[in-house]
């Protein structure tokens, strides 16, 4: 009996002493935490996507409490939660334009010429340093899916060697925009429905030999636009969204059908037919 009791008593006493010690230490070393921090952290999306520019949601919450961050900087928190946070902080939520990431390239493996063979790490950044992937186009989507790797929401996947964004999952944190070595992915406003799906600045004569879905810079869109909203700059059509009314005329006139136009009901009337090159 004694052999059991003595160790139990001594270790128990040690444990009790240490427990009290820790309890006292917790009081002595107590760090004052802002009460609002916890509430705000709970209301934030908790995705830690870094879209706000702060290290994770807790970093953003600290920034909010110190008054340096702006609640509209968070792309993924729900609007009603933002209202709640604004109430806690005693500020008013500003207007924030919902955005979504979009891959501005149509160079799928059937559209673009594959003229060399890349053997290296399956990573867009690495491939871009060697001059790109198998594709002949040096501007478009490389297709190794570095964007898909950094996406924390599983909103991007590579289809036919071109990245595709799932609009429902995308929160527009911009992680893919930062990682893409060719800057093919842009953040666009959700309400826009007309996009030039090409980023190549090659001359039309060069481009038409390497990709069947590239902007030739023919200016047909420019001539037909009723609002003077689309212009060819450096052999590439670009839309001025200040003026664009999403009428879709440019998309209907584009000979290469690379202007992506979606009707309000979600249908795409002007899709290119498959063309062999």
Partner 1 sequence: MKLLAELVLLSLTTILANNYVLVKFLGICPFLGVSKKVGTAVGMSVAVTFVMTVASVVTYFVQILLDAAGIGYMQTVAFILVIAVLVQLVEMAIQKFSPSLYGALGIYLPLITTNCAVLGVALLNVQEGFDFVHTLVYSFSAGLSFMLAIVLFAGVRERLETADIPKYLQGFPIALVTAGLLALAFLGFSGMKF
Query: Which positions lie near partner 1, rule CB under 8 A?
Result: 6-7, 10-11, 14-15, 18, 21-22, 25-26, 28-31
Smallest separation, CB 156 to partner 1 (Å): 24
Smallest separation, CB 121 to partner 1 (Å): 9
Nearer to partner 1, 26 or 233 (CB): 26
Nearer to partner 1, 31 or 68 (CB): 31
Interatomic CA distance for residues 118 and 261, integer angstroms: 33
Interatomic CA distance for residues 225 and 254, integer angstroms: 11
Nearer to partner 1, 29 or 95 (CB): 29
Nearer to partner 1, 46 or 120 (CB): 120
Interatomic CA distance for residues 121 and 184, integer angstroms: 20
With vertex at residue 267, the alpha carbon angle to CA 104 and CA 144, rounded to the nearest 5 degrees, is: 30
Smallest separation, CB 90 to partner 1 (Å): 26
Interatomic CA distance for residues 190 and 188, integer angstroms: 6
Smallest separation, CB 48 to partner 1 (Å): 14
Cα 31 from chain centroid (whole Å): 36
Nearer to partner 1, 62 or 77 (CB): 62
What number of other Cβ atoms are within 10 A of residue 93's Cβ? Answer: 16
Smallest separation, CB 61 to partner 1 (Å): 15
To the nearest 10°, report the CA torsion of 186, 159, 277, 268: -70
Interacting residues of 169 by C-beta distance below 8 A, sequence separation 6+: 153, 154, 155
């Amino acid at each position: 009996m004694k052999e059991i009791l003595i160790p139990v008593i001594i270790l128990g006493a040690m444990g009790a002493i240490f427990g009290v010690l820790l309890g006292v230490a917790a009081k002595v070393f107590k760090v004052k935490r802002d009460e609002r921090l916890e509430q705000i952290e709970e209301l934030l999306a908790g995705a830690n996507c870094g879209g706000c520019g702060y290290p994770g949601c807790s970093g953003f919450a600290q920034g909010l409490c110190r008054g340096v961050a702006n609640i509209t900087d968070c792309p993924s928190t729900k609007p009603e939660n933002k209202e709640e946070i604004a109430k806690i902080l005693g500020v008013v939520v500003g207007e924030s334009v919902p955005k979504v990431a979009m891959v501005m390239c149509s160079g799928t493996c059937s559209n673009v010429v594959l003229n060399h063979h890349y053997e290296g790490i399956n990573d867009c950044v690495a491939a871009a340093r060697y001059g790109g992937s198998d594709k002949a186009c040096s501007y478009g989507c490389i297709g190794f899916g570095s964007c898909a790797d950094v996406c924390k929401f599983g909103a991007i996947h590579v289809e036919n060697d071109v990245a595709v964004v799932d609009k429902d999952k995308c929160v527009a944190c911009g992680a893919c925009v930062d990682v893409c070595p060719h800057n093919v992915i842009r953040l666009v406003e959700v309400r826009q429905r007309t996009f030039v799906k090409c980023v190549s600045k090659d001359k039309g004569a060069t481009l038409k030999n390497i990709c069947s879905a590239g902007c030739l810079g023919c200016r047909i869109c420019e001539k037909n636009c009723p609002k003077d909203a689309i212009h060819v700059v450096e052999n590439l059509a670009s839309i001025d969204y200040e003026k664009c009314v999403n009428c879709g005329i440019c998309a209907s006139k584009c000979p290469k059908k690379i202007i992506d136009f979606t009707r309000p009901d979600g249908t795409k009337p002007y899709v290119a037919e498959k063309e062999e090159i």
